[in-house]
Amino acid sequence: MKCRVCGKQANIRLPQYNTALCSEDFTLFFEKRVATTIRKYRLIGEEEKTLVAVSGGKDSLSLWRLLNGLGISADGIYIDLGIHEYSRVSFEKTKAMAESLRRTLYSFSLPDAFTKGIKDLSGIMRRPPCSLCGMIKRYVMNRACIEHGYSVLATGHNLDDEASALLGNLLHWKEEYLWKKGVSLDAEGAHLARKVKPLFLCSEKETAAYAVMTGIDYVYEECPYSVGAKTLLYKGLLNRAEEESPTTKLVFMKGYLKRVRQGGLTKDEREPKSLCGACGYPSYAELCSFCRLMERFGTTDTLSFSIHTHSPS
């Protein structure tokens, strides 16, 4: 198998593009595609202050470095979920990337804020860890953007993440989530930053290959709670379909986005209408979910909410 570009030994086969590439040409190809995606879908404008949600995994670390490589000055934010060794190692790798990029890293620690990690909080609140974690991450990351003047939050969701979530939402016709699967969620008012997913056209296999080929030191383990049977099932089904027809995932996601743009899916009606009485951020109820958590477990009140800033040394 020869590299389509230089003719040397290829390192990765990309059936969805009917090609094979060597490490060097794949790296260039991958970076160019993310750059094109950002431009084509207008994910990040010129001079926009960008914050990257960093977990220490292959997707988010690759995204962070890649954005800076493309000339988009992006800082990072890390949420310490209090999952012992997993969280410690993830934070280490995230800090190392911040140092190497010489960018600011913000961090928020669940054990510091609530005296408990995600597992204990999830148990007490009788809410699945992924659901609680999602709520906390959305809140903290959005608030970090607003308070520190970032207009856009970039996350490392890849094609497999997006396509499998979309498949799950379609199989169950989850109207309230279907609409939210866009790759760019517009900012609303002064309290919500825009959210973008620059890797949404890159498969998991591709982002892993990119991280390995460019020598990114990332956490191999998946979060012990995040790997739900359903997510794995849907990723498996799509990979099976992809084997038969190597553009399945791309066609599925692009078709969906086209449909969303044409307004073919009805918009989520349940938009937050009010602002939280404690923190002033958007909320469905008088008090937002995060502030209710703060009220119950918080080590400080919600207004002295603490995000640490680690400036490059």
Q: List contacts with a copy of itself (CB under 8 A).
A: 170-173, 175, 229-230, 233-234, 236-237, 240-241, 244-245, 248, 251-252, 255-256, 258-259, 262, 264-266
Q: How far is the CB of 250 from a copy of itself (least distance, A)?
A: 11
**Helix pair angle (84-101, 58-69), 10° resolution:** 10
Q: What token pair was written down for 34? A: 């993310």
Q: Are strands 282-283 and 274-275 parallel, antiparallel or unpaired?
A: antiparallel
CB of 247 to a copy of itself, least distance (A): 10
Closer by beta carbon to a copy of itself, 130 or else 237: 237
In the complex, minimum distance from the CB of residue 127 to a copy of itself, in angstroms, rounded to a whole number:
21
Task: State how far the alpha carbon of 85 is from the alpha carbons of 62, 80, 310, in Å.
Answer: 22, 11, 21
Closest approach of Cβ 240 to a copy of itself, in Å?
6
- Token pair belonging to 116: 């408990």
How does DSSP classify residue 18?
Answer: T
The residue (of 102 and 254) whose beta carbon lies closer to a copy of itself is: 254
| Least distance (Å) between residue 148 CB and a copy of itself | 38
* Residue 266 in tokens: 């009805």
Contact of 41 with 73, CB cutoff 8 Å: no
What DSSP element (H or E) covers 274?
Answer: strand 274-275
Residue 159 CA: distances (Å) to CA of 5, 49, 162, 221: 24, 25, 5, 19
Nearest Cα to 268, choosing from 200, 135, 177, 187?
Answer: 177
Contact 59, 81 (CB under 8 A): no
**Nearer to a copy of itself among residue 173 and residue 220 (C-beta):** 173
Among 181, 189, 184, 183, smallest CA distance to 201 is for: 183
Smaller CB distance to a copy of itself: residue 209 or 257? 257
Q: Minimal distance in Å, beta carbon 170 to a copy of itself?
A: 6
First-to-last alpha carbon distance for the chain, in angstroms, is 45
Give the angle subtended at the CA of 138 by the CAs of 81 and 295, to the nearest 5°: 70
CA distance 1 to 309: 47
Provide the minimum distance between the beta carbon of 11 and a copy of itself in the complex, in angstroms, as a whole number: 29
Q: Which is nearer to a copy of itself, 48 or 175 (CB)?
A: 175
Of 243 and 286, CB closest to a copy of itself: 243
Measured from the CB atom, is 103 or 235 closer to a copy of itself?
235
Q: Which is nearer to a copy of itself, 49 or 230 (CB)?
A: 230
To a copy of itself, the closest distance from the beta carbon of 121 in angstroms equals 27
Cα dihedral sign, 53-283-165-253: negative
